[in-house]
Structure 1
Amino acid sequence: MNDIDEMALFRLGVLGPLTSRGALARGELARLIRQIAQQEYAIPGSRRRHISEKTLHAWYDTWRREGIAGLASKARADRGSSKLPEAVQAAVLAAKRENPRRSIRQIRLLLESAGLVARDTLSRSAVHRLLKAHGLSRIAGPAVVPDEKRSFEAEHAGSLWYGDVMHGPTLSIDGKRRKTYLVSLMDDASRLVAHSAFCLSETALDIESVLKQALLRRGIPGRLVVDNGSAYRSATLQGICARLSIRLIYCRPYQPAAKGKIERWHRTLRDQFLAELDTSRIRELGDLNARLWAWIEQIFHRSKHASLGGLTPLARYQQDLPRIRLLGPLAAQLDQLFWYRITRLVRRDGTVSYQGKRFEVPYELAGRHVRLVVDPHTGVVMHVENEAGQQLGAAAELDTVANSTRRRQRPEAEPATAEPAVAGPNLIELVHRQHYPHTEH
């Protein structure tokens, strides 16, 4: 004899006051179901303690049609699948695999902090089902093998840099409270900070500005390890690295240990720099960065590190100076590597717009699409070019006052012909002659 399903027995027990009776008087079914719904139950496989009237009606109807067999638990048609977006599923699984001891609560907080899901929108049960479907719902003791992580160090200074952004202090700048962000590049072998600066945002432009200064000061790295943020994924940063033969490497999501050295630098900066910073002396961003650079050069770079065998970052970096790939002749062309190219339509008056300003380009380009070549770090428009990169002329900021006295270029008059041109047929004259055939001309 087959065993009766545990859930079928539980549901039949709940429906007892209904199934033990024969025909029910009008309204009696609704009254009894209302009474049953008000009681508490130890529901198998659930933390809930109450059963809704709608569910009780469904169970009762099923029992009348199919008997106790109809009350048995049924496998879900979508078992093993998840309604979470694929990107969220991948992030949940990556977070759990990276650290098997993470609880569902920690995973939800991690994804909320990363901006992948809105606060309190990720269902705990949805995460649990997803982890269970992939065999990750609980720690399996010794059988759980975390990803192998080993300490390493680059062979020499300049071979590997790390890039990252840290949230900085909020300052009063120009009468407004502004959040700051610390953009940093650090050398792996020496722990030397190639360059670091506080910015008012964390865009690709801010990151490229710090990279530009780092290249001028510390040479060209072989590899640059960054996270998967959109700013680091920008086409402009990838293009700069490609032209300088820098291998751009992206960390796997939710693995901060991959950049442990720069995370340690952030902790040191908070403990030693931000903890001592007197913000009352800061009037503008330049004041903050001036103090940062002084602290880096005079304190951090000259402090002995146990991980460097007692050497300072500056001394360790200087050991490898012969192996550093310097800019050399590229230094004169470095600004050009960081230029942006923006497509614009030239207006009828021969102007284009950039950052709220208008610039004049050769008038014959009116009505054409051109590429505006700009230095985004200074806001200067250099020139215009076509899609092939051929320069089409200069671009100057529009001066309407000067244009009021400027001599306009006029089209050249056509040369006079030896004989007057013979006029062609005129439609009006033709119909006039046809309508008034005897009119004198």
Structure 2
Amino acid sequence: MSTPLLRPRDHAEAVALFRAEVIGALTRRELDRGELAAALRALAQQRLRPPGSTTTRQVAVSTLERWYYAYRAGGLDALKPRPRSDRGRARALTAEQRALLLDVRREHPTASAPVILRTLVADGRLPRGAVSVSTVTRLYREAGLERGERPDGHTRLRWAAEHPGALWHGDVCHGPSLRDGKTTKPLRIHALLDDASRFVVALEAHHREREVDMFGLFLRALRRHGAPGALYLDNGSTYRGDALRVACERLGVTLLHARPGDAPARGKMERFWRTLRAGCLDHLGALTSLHDVQARLIAFLDAHYHVAPHGGLMGRTPTEAWVRAKHTALDENALSAALTVRSRRRVRKDGTVDVDGTAWQLDQGFLAGRVVTVAVDMTGAELPSVEHEGRRYLLRTVDAVAASRTRRARRTPPAQPTVPFDPAGALLDRVAGRPPRHRPEED
């Protein structure tokens, strides 16, 4: 039979053992005058990690000296930390302050202790520096009003979409920065996750977090897998633009946004991010390009995540759950029609018109200076076009170099006027006192 491991009884004994290990060697030596102070100063320069801590720190000479004499007087028990008599109770609060803090938490259960304290100090209801965040936190813990408690009796239930394709989650994960020489660029992983099957319908690496990036990801997933019944996104401004909203409405997809501050509602997406970090993102090393990151993301999905049994799927893999469902592909023409955006633009005198910051050339010169309707197919299937008075004219990319080499027809000089007309000359004749150059015919 194996011998059980001998461990400290509790945290207090673990702390006492740590302190004894630090100063124990000094207690067994015969020290001459001045040697103890020198030894304690040397110990104070070392970085130590107390039990339960994840970081190292230095211990003051006065603290080491107190441990030394306590150990010599009472042994290991004397080194155990003594709990405060008022442990677990909020201190330094008057009855009025306690009532105020408790009332605020009851009416605003999602506000954190730092936010509550900062707000009450800012509006003058609590004096600055009189109450600490830890005191407020202990008060709420004592009263059973820790953050997130819902006094209205709301109960969170585990939920799932009825079938694969009914609901997609969309989100962005911040990965480690990519360093290329002296240049550092951020890494943002965009993903779409099917709720019922946990199958990742799209996963891409980008440098930025914009609506256009999520829109492109959504478009590519639509082409591969068809449209979901609903799209569930975060509440951030990135997902509140018109492009996603209009696209979902035209395609019959219900667009949902999570409530602010309700992270547990996004639990499936967060669980996937943890899996991706542990199996891929935390081990990217010295990669410098999005291409290298994307290759590893695809390998992680195809060789591990999609083919590994999932606890939330009763042991099935995401691929098995996904392929059993029926997915209807979208017609490309219908997709193009739904994702065509129209806007009004004025054509410049050189026949160019701007579309999302890019200049396009219009060959129909008679439209220069006019306000026209520009139609842009967000799927990229066709070039932008101009719609004007029932007719459609395709735009082309601007090539300034080619335009400089284009031979243009020489303009015919204007014909000489047959009717004399010289306003300045008439004024000059008047000032000089000369008779008019032309006299009206007498009747």
TM-score (norm 1): 0.61
Q: Does 1:366 align with 2:378?
A: no
Whether the aligned pair in 2 keeps the contact of 1:371 and 1:385 (CA below 8 Å) is: yes
SS in 1 for 2:239: coil
Taking the aligned partners of 2:384 and 2:329, their CA distance within structure 1 comes to: 26
Q: Which stretches in structure 1 are left out of the alignment for 5+ residues?
A: 1-41, 48-78, 80-88, 109-120, 131-135
Listed one character per residue, the Cα deviations across residues 221-280 of structure 1 (whole Å, up to 9, x for unaligned) are 0011112111111101111111110000111110011121111111111112223x3433
Report the secondary structure of 2:393's partner residue: strand
- Specify the alignment match of 1:304 in structure 2: 309
Q: Please give the alpha-carbon distance, in whole angstroms, between the structure 1 residues aligned to 2:304 and 2:422.
A: 91
Selected match of 1:292 from 288, 297, 307: 297
Q: 1:326 aligns with which of 312, 325, 329?
A: 329
Counterpart residue type for residue 243 of structure 1: R
Q: Residue 170 and residue 338 in structure 1: after superposition, are their counterparts in 2 closer, same or farther (change >3 A)?
A: farther
Amino acid in structure 2 at the alignment position of 1:229: G
Matched residue, 1:350: 351
Alpha-carbon distance in 2 for matches of 1:126, 1:160: 43
Does the CA-based 8 Å contact 2:171-2:234 persist in structure 1? yes
Partner of 1:97: 109
Distance 1:154 1:127 in 2: 45
Cα distance in 2, alignment partners of residues 160 and 288 from structure 1: 27
Contact 2:280–2:296 (CA under 8 A) maintained in structure 1? no
Distance in 2, Cα, partners of 1:246 & 1:259:
19
Aligned to 2:387: 385
How far did residue 385 of structure 1 move? Answer: 3.5
Equivalence for 2:404: 404
Aligned residue in 2 for 1:179: 186
- C-alpha distance 283-345 of structure 1, shift in aligned 2 (>3 A): same
For 2:406 and 2:437, locate their aligned partners in 1 and report how far apart those are by CA, in whole Å: 53
By how many angstroms is 1:208 displaced? Answer: 0.6
Alignment partner of 1:273 is 2:285 = no
Q: Structure 2 length normalisation: TM-score?
A: 0.61
Q: Distance in 2 between matches of 1:295 and 1:43?
A: 54
Provide the residue aligned with 2:60 in structure 1: none
Cα distance in 2 for partners of 1:266, 1:438 equals 91
1:177 match: secondary structure: strand
Alignment of 1:11-410 (within 5 A): 96-98=108-110, 103-105=112-114, 107=115, 122-125=118-121, 139=144, 144-173=151-180, 176-275=183-282, 277-280=283-286, 282-321=287-326, 324-327=327-330, 329=331, 331-332=332-333, 334=335, 337-338=338-339, 341=342, 343-353=344-354, 358-361=359-362, 362-374=364-376, 382-385=384-387, 392-408=392-408
SS in 2 for 1:404: helix
Please give the per-residue CA displacement for 1:416-440, whole angstroms capped at 9, x wherever unaligned: 9xxx99848887679969x767999
Aligned-pair CA distance for 1:408: 3.2
SS of the residue corresponding to residue 350 of structure 2 reads coil
For the aligned residue pairs, the C-alpha RMSD in angstroms reads: 4.5
Q: 1:44 to 1:297 in 2, by over 3 A?
A: closer
Q: 2-side partners of 1:378 and 1:104: how far apart?
A: 50
Q: Does the 8 A contact of 1:153 with 1:188 survive in 2?
A: yes
> Equivalent pairs: percent with the same residue?
31
User: Counterparts of 2:272 and 2:329 in 1: how far apart (Å)?
Assistant: 25
Shift of the alpha carbon at 1:286? Answer: 1.4
CA distance in 1, matches of 2:340, 2:426: 62
The CA distance in 1 between the partners of 2:231 and 2:438, in whole Å, is 92
Residue type at the aligned position of 2:322 = Y
Q: Deviations over 1:366-403 (max 9, x none)?
A: 223345445678799522335x9x66522223333332
C-alpha distance in 1, partners of 2:261/2:176? 24
Long gaps (5+) in structure 2:
1-91, 127-139
C-alpha distance in structure 2 between counterparts of 1:153 and 1:374, whole Å = 37
The alpha-carbon distance between structure 1 residues 355 and 156, as it changes in their structure 2 partners (threshold 3 A), is closer
User: Could you tell me how far apart the structure 1 residues matched to 2:123 and 2:106 are?
Assistant: 9
